[in-house]
Chain A
């Protein structure tokens, strides 16, 4: 019996460009067409200017950011992560905008002596055919 695979994202009308770009190894973040502020993920309205028709457009970002906090997951409540335990989740503030946050796995693992403020850069994990999930790696200039 094969172990369960990790859960895969199911793109919807709003998220489809994000997952399509991730599959190509590109991090894109939704940007409000009215106030130009980034949001992750895009809400039904713009959380910055309040516009009810924000016409979000996903734009490529640098993928660079800093670690605001982290945790080491040693027991997962989700199926499919058994072989990955323990793994690190980092709460990353992206360089493009204050408080623009995205939580992802840190591919360097739990033994790196992480500190708040450590710089990271996006990387991608292939979780299924044509499906990639953004993660992060410590940046060389740490």
Chain B
């Protein structure tokens, strides 16, 4: 059995739309997503009636006590199809972590198999008015009973533990993370729709922020926002008749650790061991290696993920990402450096999950990045979530 992708470069992104990313949108998430979907379909040169497939990853990634309401706190594929007035041949949602690569894989598979001809992929993220992660529970049941009574709760503690483990194991300092934040926010500041447009961050500002859950401070976490992004997929053959230069999907991969843990327990060895397998599969699926990539976009919903992804993907040796980044290794303004956060990431745009990574690959490879266009990038990688639970997609500017 070979791990190469039989449908490599046979399906392409042919259009997109990205909403404004704001702390609180002036309209409901459903309305924002519907408007963004209509713009994406028009951008692709299509009519609404031509869309016959829908997919998303609809997770609302909060540990707070918020009710889940379709069209309000989240938007599912079926909600969007219904509100566009489409009865699609295929609609589905991705259940796992890494919602963006997960739903991209589903969209590509649907087009390649003929389940649908034109697939809409959307991601809608909501920031509730009440505190995002605060939870007033007085009783801890089910899996919560094993962690909540001792105050072990939420995604900050989840990432703080492996981040501390990394610092201790490799003699790294959290001061080295300033380079990640400065890079993400500088690039985000150049993006008109970003929450952080025109608002870069200095290393001094980063280091002045108090730690919340050591070594994590507020700037290490992407800020919760309202926002929606929509992409249109079709076959490489149909893409030839559409207005924009297609961006092809060469392959994808995911991680799924076999060691069972409590949901917030992410030991560093789990992340790295399964992460290396995620990367190995990715290169095999797409038939390329890290040396072929000129536009890597690593995930950064929490800043330590940047170090973890750089290492598992082989862009720097294990234990050295902190030095690599501190020495300007991902400075996208420096010729020869790896532009790993040129799209601003989640830290530089707001909590859009893996959308900024995917969007940067699309915009640069389709030559639609405008003033931010970085020459003629040919191969992009868009990562999402942790290397052990998330995934990545390889994009190509050429069909072969």
Please tell me if the beta carbons of B160 and A41 are within 8 angstroms of each other in the complex: no
Interface positions of A (Cβ within 8 A of B): 4-12, 15, 19, 39-41, 43, 47, 68-81, 84, 87, 89, 91, 99, 101, 103-105, 115-116, 125, 127, 133-135
Q: Classify the interface of chain B: helix, strand, loop or mixed.
A: mixed
* C-alpha spacing A105/B130, complex, angstroms: 28
Please tell me if the beta carbons of A79 and B138 are within 8 angstroms of each other in the complex: yes
* C-alpha spacing A5/B213, complex, angstroms: 21
* C-alpha spacing A91/B262, complex, angstroms: 12
Q: Which 9 A-B pairs have the closest CB atoms?
A: A69-B165, A71-B160, A9-B145, A72-B214, A47-B260, A133-B149, A77-B133, A75-B212, A77-B154
Q: A76-B153, A87-B151, A103-B265 are in contact. Are A68 and B138 (CB under 8 A)?
A: no
Q: Could you jot down 9 A-B contacts, CB within 8 Å?
A: A7-B149, A10-B141, A11-B145, A12-B141, A71-B215, A77-B131, A78-B135, A79-B136, A87-B151
Q: Per-residue CB proximity of B54-66 to A under 8 Å, as 1/0?
A: 0000000001100
Please tell me if the beta carbons of B150 and A89 are within 8 angstroms of each other in the complex: yes
Q: Which chain B residues lie closer than 8 Å to A89 at the CB level?
A: 150-152, 157, 161
Please tell me if the beta carbons of A115 and B213 are within 8 angstroms of each other in the complex: no
Q: Which chain B residues lie closer than 8 Å to A91 at the CB level?
A: 161, 165, 265, 267
Q: Per-residue CB proximity of B118-143 to A under 8 Å, as 1/0?
A: 00000000000001011111111111
By the criterion of a CB under 8 Å from any partner CB, how many residues of chain B are at the interface? Answer: 48
Q: A4-B136, A87-B151 are in contact. Are A74 and B145 (CB under 8 A)?
A: no
Please tell me if the beta carbons of B211 and A74 are within 8 angstroms of each other in the complex: yes
Please tell me if the beta carbons of A70 and B164 are within 8 angstroms of each other in the complex: yes
Please tell me if the beta carbons of A78 and B137 are within 8 angstroms of each other in the complex: yes
Q: Does B363 contact A (CB under 8 A)?
A: no
Please tell me if the beta carbons of A12 and B137 are within 8 angstroms of each other in the complex: no
Please tell me if the beta carbons of A8 and B139 are within 8 angstroms of each other in the complex: yes
Q: A47-B259, A71-B214, A77-B135 are in contact. Are A8 and B149 (CB under 8 A)?
A: yes
CB distance from A62 to the nearest CB of B (A): 19
Contact of A71 among B137, B138, B161 (CB under 8 A): B161
* C-alpha spacing A135/B211, complex, angstroms: 23
* C-alpha spacing A76/B154, complex, angstroms: 9
Q: Does B148 contact A (CB under 8 A)?
A: yes
Q: Which chain A residues lie closer than 8 Å to B160 at the CB level?
A: 71
Task: Name the CB-closest residue of A to B142.
Answer: A12
Please tell me if the beta carbons of A104 and B150 are within 8 angstroms of each other in the complex: yes
Please tell me if the beta carbons of B213 and A101 are within 8 angstroms of each other in the complex: no
CB distance from B234 to the nearest CB of A (A): 42
* C-alpha spacing A45/B146, complex, angstroms: 17
Q: A6-B151, A41-B146, A84-B151 are in contact. Are A74 and B138 (CB under 8 A)?
A: no
* C-alpha spacing A89/B213, complex, angstroms: 10
Q: Which chain A residues lie closer than 8 Å to B143 at the CB level?
A: 41
CB distance from B59 to the nearest CB of A (A): 18
* C-alpha spacing A4/B168, complex, angstroms: 35
CB distance from B302 to the nearest CB of A (A): 13
CB distance from B65 to the nearest CB of A (A): 10
Q: Which chain A residues lie closer than 8 Å to B165 at the CB level?
A: 68-69, 91, 116
Please tell me if the beta carbons of B168 and A115 are within 8 angstroms of each other in the complex: yes
Q: Which chain A residues lie closer than 8 Å to B211 at the CB level?
A: 72, 74
Please tell me if the beta carbons of B213 and A103 are within 8 angstroms of each other in the complex: no
Q: Which chain A residues lie closer than 8 Å to B140 at the CB level?
A: 7-10
Q: A10-B140, A41-B262, A69-B268 are in contact. Are A77 and B168 (CB under 8 A)?
A: no
Q: A72-B214, A75-B213 are in contact. Are A7 and B139 (CB under 8 A)?
A: yes
Q: Which chain A residues lie closer than 8 Å to B134 at the CB level?
A: 77-79
CB distance from A87 to the nearest CB of B (A): 6
Please tell me if the beta carbons of B151 and A105 are within 8 angstroms of each other in the complex: yes
Task: Name the CB-closest residue of B to A90.
Answer: B161
Other than the given A12-B145, A77-B153, 4 more pairs (CB < 8 A) read A69-B161, A77-B131, A78-B154, A79-B135
* C-alpha spacing A111/B286, complex, angstroms: 49
CB distance from A102 to the nearest CB of B (A): 9
